[in-house]
Chain A
Amino acid sequence: MTDRLHLTPEAAQRLTVDAEPWLSCDDCFHLVDRYVENLLSGDQDELPAMRAHLRGCSACRDEATSLLLLTAADAGTDPTRALQRLAQ
């Protein structure tokens, strides 16, 4: 096996994330504003595909986190709980 296939446990975990049901990055971008506002308002998560996508796509997850923090700052809201829900 080559060196690049000597995986760290963290890489192995990221490689086998269950990111079902499928959602594309484009659809994630389309939905993320509403999703973040729902998380901040404590509403029930109605978009399981969005949650799955954010588990599987680190780039979209990082951008969603920035959006959540910025939106929370505008609203004067503590983002802690919403951040926890985002990371689930």
Chain B
Amino acid sequence: MSIRRSDEPLVSVMARDLAGGDWIELLSSPGAGHDEALQRLHELLLRAARQQVSRMQPALNGIGQVRQDDIINQAADEAMISLLGKLATFEGRSRFTTWAYKFGILQAAVEVNRSMWRHREVPLDDVHEPLAAGASPEQFSEAADFSIAVGAAIEQTLTDHQRRVVLALIVDDVPIDVLAERLGTSRNTLYKTLHDARKRLRAHLTATGFLPVTKTPELTP
């Protein structure tokens, strides 16, 4: 039996007492301890969701405590469904509690962003407006000019889709899950678009002398 530290939540003590294999066994099959394990798991997910919502407080401007509690509970419920559907993928590479927490944290982040952007428009208009030709490194100076060079590279090297995505994510700070939802795609797919766009930008900026040559980036078609 573990000894509980005075500042430690009770749920941590209960969870720590179960090994990963015990969790899987109890959660996988109805029987003695199944309901209690589900309850403990939900408490872990609530704790994770609460932690994430707390860390996102600056983004929650104007959202009251009641609504925040709703978000936390909803995130824990959604995370519970997601986790139980992936129980078979737990490989014991980490503690079960660490593995479980990540589901609650992810879902809470998604819920907070969804809530904060529910009534906000996501700017996705095509901003293409050709730059004057002939911009060269000599026309730029130091740090602020690197920003201008990056802006020019965005116009000159990215596809319309890449441009819309990187501007929404980086310039307009649209959360990636919100953008994914609006575009009917996934975080994974949007990150791949961002990743490929960065490769193009870095290759262009290296070729034009704004970034040092480290290695030759490969362009993704």
Contacts and interface: CB of A to CB of B under 8 A. Distances in A.
B146 A12 contact: yes
Contact of A4 (B94, B152, B171, B217): B171
Q: Which of B131, B177, B188 has the most CB of A within 10 A?
A: B188
A30 B143 CA distance: 37
A66 B198 contact: no
Q: Which of B143, B148, B187, B205 has the most CB of A within 10 A?
A: B187
Interface in B73-109: 89, 93-95, 97-99, 101-102, 105-106, 109
Given A8-B147, A33-B93, A74-B12, A1 B129 contact: yes
Given A6-B151, A9-B147, A59-B109, A19 B131 contact: no
Interface in A25-48: 25-26, 29-30, 32-34, 36-37
A78 interface: no
Q: Which secondary structure dominates where chain A touches chain B?
A: helix
Contacts of A19: 195, 198
5 nearest A-B pairs in the assembled complex, by CB-CB distance: A33-B94, A5-B151, A12-B147, A12-B150, A7-B147
Contacts of A14: 170
A4 B149 CA distance: 14
Given A1-B152, A16-B201, A56-B194, A37 B147 contact: no
Given A59-B187, A66-B55, A67-B105, A15 B170 contact: yes
B68 interface: no
Interface string B39-60: 0000000011001100100000
A16 B109 contact: no
Interface size class of A (residues with CB under 8 A): 35 or more
Interface of A: 1-2, 4-9, 11-12, 14-20, 22, 24-26, 29-30, 32-34, 36-37, 56-59, 62-63, 65-67, 69-71, 73-74, 76
B191 A70 contact: no
Contacts of B161: none
B70 interface: no
B106 A63 contact: yes
Contacts of B211: 16
